[in-house]
């Protein structure tokens, strides 16, 4: 295993604020045009990824020495908050590509760094995080197995709900070593998506929301994987998947819920100030003001917890994992309440696709299971509370 030392980067506040302004303008301008196109076609335009890459939006959080912009995690989340007000497929590209490097960087060989990690940070190779299974829920109960014979591993099992699994260049895949039973019996691979024998890729992209993002079901039957594709050592699989990616990714998903809730609130306020009934604007009605007040408080409370979780991760605090789960748990529930009230402010109009709130409402549902359901997050937080692993 090669551990990459990440040197601190000087942070320019004025430059960062300029970047926030630039990204806000893009989200409100070209981002909205992309959103309309994606919803109309059901496809992410081929030109979107290169545009995001050329703007530097895919290499925000990675260290400078690896080709990134070195933005601290808690400040990067301010950018994720902005991007999440755009179409969910735009958010997904920025979120995933800015996060998968963390799962790879501390485990990659020098060859993997040059072949996969750095090109991924640059937005030139797409890596799909490949953990989820239809018959496993927590990661430690994975059923996909890997068996080593000489210099080759043989993979058997099925993965599902794999974002970018169809069109990616590599799968970052976790599996259990055949015959193992404990938490150290896992491996991770960087496998090329290049027609490996016994690997079946099924496009499963017809979803309620996040239109345009490809999702895959992957089936492996005695699929040969060269030993050189192993990421880290035997037994590192869960550390790659859970610590390297899922912990900060949960916080990022929580912030994406905040950003999307802010967009729903913005749409509700705009509509309430425009729509008149019985000679009065909706915004003047107390019931509507109560909805919007509750939304405002909900959003601000969730955002504060997300930022606290981000700082805990930055500081490598012992409560970072619990806070990551808590922040996602609170933020996605908040998003459900906010989008429901925002849709209600629109009345029947909000149910029609011609109104943006309809898309926002559909997209909001995905965060409920992305990076682990709230039921899983509650298990994590609940166990930490009853065992005294967290203080009050």
Whether residue 79 lies inside any domain: the answer is yes
State how far the Cα of 173 lies from the Cα of 181, in Å rounded to an integer. 19
- 235, 256, 286: which is the final residue of a domain? 235
Whether residue 6 lies inside any domain: the answer is no
Whether residue 391 lies inside any domain: the answer is no
pLDDT digits 0-9 by tens, 200-224: 999 988 888 889 899 999 999 999 9
221 and 260 share one domain: no
- 56-80 mean pLDDT: 95
Per-residue model confidence (pLDDT) at position 206: 87
Per-residue model confidence (pLDDT) at position 107: 95
pLDDT digits 0-9 by tens, 97-111: 999 999 999 999 999
- Looking at the chain, the whole-number percentage of residues with pLDDT higher than 90 is 82
pLDDT digits 0-9 by tens, 295-312: 999 999 999 999 999 999
Reported confidence tier of residue 52, pLDDT bands at 50, 70, 90? very high
Cβ-Cβ contacts under 8 Å for 256 (sequence gap 6 or more): 80, 81, 83, 84, 91, 95, 367
| Residue 167 · residue 96 · CB < 8 Å | no
Q: Is 159 helix (H, G, I), strand (E, B) or coil?
A: strand
Per-residue model confidence (pLDDT) at position 209: 83
Reported confidence tier of residue 371, pLDDT bands at 50, 70, 90? confident
Per-residue model confidence (pLDDT) at position 207: 85
Per-residue model confidence (pLDDT) at position 105: 93
| Residue 82 · residue 24 · CB < 8 Å | yes
174 and 254 share one domain: no
- 121, 145, 162: which is the final residue of a domain? 121
Whether residue 244 lies inside any domain: the answer is yes
270 and 325 share one domain: yes
CB atoms within 10 A of CB 46: 7
167 and 256 share one domain: no
What is the residue-averaged pLDDT of the chain?
A: 92
357 and 280 share one domain: yes
Whether residue 221 lies inside any domain: the answer is yes
- 73, 91, 121: which is the final residue of a domain? 121
213 and 251 share one domain: no
181 and 159 share one domain: yes
At residue 2, does pLDDT exceed 60? no
Whether residue 5 lies inside any domain: the answer is no
| Residue 333 · residue 303 · CB < 8 Å | no
- Long-range contact list for 71-78, CB < 8 A, 24+ apart? 71/11, 71/16, 72/11, 72/314, 73/248, 73/251, 73/310, 73/313, 73/314, 74/307, 74/310, 74/311, 74/314, 75/11, 75/16, 77/251, 77/252, 77/255, 77/306, 77/307, 77/310, 78/20
289 and 169 share one domain: no
The pTM score is 0.91
221 and 312 share one domain: no
CA angle 144, 147, 150 (to 5 degrees): 155
Q: Which structural domain, as residue segments, surrounds residue 211?
A: 127-235
Whether residue 304 lies inside any domain: the answer is yes
At residue 1, does pLDDT exceed 60? no
Cβ-Cβ contacts under 8 Å for 239 (sequence gap 6 or more): 107, 232
* Pairing outcome for strands 170-177 and 152-163: unpaired
Cα distances from 66 to residues 1, 54, 101, 116, 202, in angstroms, run 17, 16, 10, 12, 33
Which is nearest to 361 in space by CA: 335, 337, 339? 339
Q: Is 190 helix (H, G, I), strand (E, B) or coil?
A: strand
- Looking at the chain, the whole-number percentage of residues with pLDDT higher than 70 is 96
State how far the Cα of 52 lies from the Cα of 34, in Å rounded to an integer. 12
136 and 24 share one domain: no
Which is nearest to 246 in space by CA: 312, 142, 324? 324
Per-residue model confidence (pLDDT) at position 329: 95
**What is the domain count for the chain?**
3
At residue 6, does pLDDT exceed 80? no
Whether residue 195 lies inside any domain: the answer is yes
70 and 39 share one domain: yes
């Amino acid at each position: 295993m090669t551990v990459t030392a990440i040197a601190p980067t000087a942070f320019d506040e004025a430059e960062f604020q300029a970047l926030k302004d630039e990204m806000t303008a893009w989200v409100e301008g070209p981002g909205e045009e992309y959103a309309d196109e994606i919803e109309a076609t059901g496809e992410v335009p081929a030109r979107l990824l290169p545009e995001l890459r050329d703007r530097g939006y895919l290499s925000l959080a990675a260290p400078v020495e690896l080709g990134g912009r070195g933005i601290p995690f808690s400040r990067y989340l301010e950018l994720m908050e902005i991007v999440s007000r755009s179409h969910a497929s735009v958010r997904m590209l920025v979120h995933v590509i800015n996060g998968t490097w963390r799962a790879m960087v501390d485990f990659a060989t020098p060859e993997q760094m040059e072949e996969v990690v750095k090109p991924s940070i640059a937005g030139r190779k797409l890596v799909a995080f490949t953990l989820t299974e239809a018959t496993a829920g927590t990661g430690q109960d994975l059923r996909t197995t890997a068996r080593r014979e000489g210099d080759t591993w043989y993979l058997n099992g099925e993965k599902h709900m794999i974002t970018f699994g169809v069109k990616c260049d590599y799968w970052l895949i976790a599996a259990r070593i055949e015959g193992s039973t404990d938490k150290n019996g896992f491996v991770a691979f960087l496998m090329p998506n290049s027609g490996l024998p016994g690997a079946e890729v099924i496009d499963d992209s017809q979803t309620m929301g996040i239109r345009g993002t490809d999702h895959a079901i992957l089936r492996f039957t005695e699929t040969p994987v060269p030993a050189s594709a192993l990421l880290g050592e035997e037994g590192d699989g869960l550390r790659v998947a859970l610590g390297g990616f899922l912990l900060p990714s949960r916080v990022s998903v929580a912030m994406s819920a905040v950003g999307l809730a802010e967009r729903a609130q913005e749409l509700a306020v705009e509509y309430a100030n425009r729509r008149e009934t019985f000679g009065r604007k909706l915004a003047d009605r107390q019931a509507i003001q109560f909805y919007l007040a509750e939304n405002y408080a909900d959003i601000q409370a969730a955002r504060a917890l997300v930022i606290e979780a981000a700082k805990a991760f930055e500081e490598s605090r012992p409560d970072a994992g619990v806070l990551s789960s808590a922040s996602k748990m609170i933020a996605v529930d908040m998003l459900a309440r906010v989008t429901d009230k925002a849709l209600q402010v629109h009345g029947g109009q909000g149910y029609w696709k011609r109104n943006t709130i309809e898309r926002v409402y559909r997209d909001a549902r995905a965060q409920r299971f992305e990076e682990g359901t709230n039921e899983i997050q509650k298990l994590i937080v609940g166990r930490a509370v009853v065992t005294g692993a967290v203080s009050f």
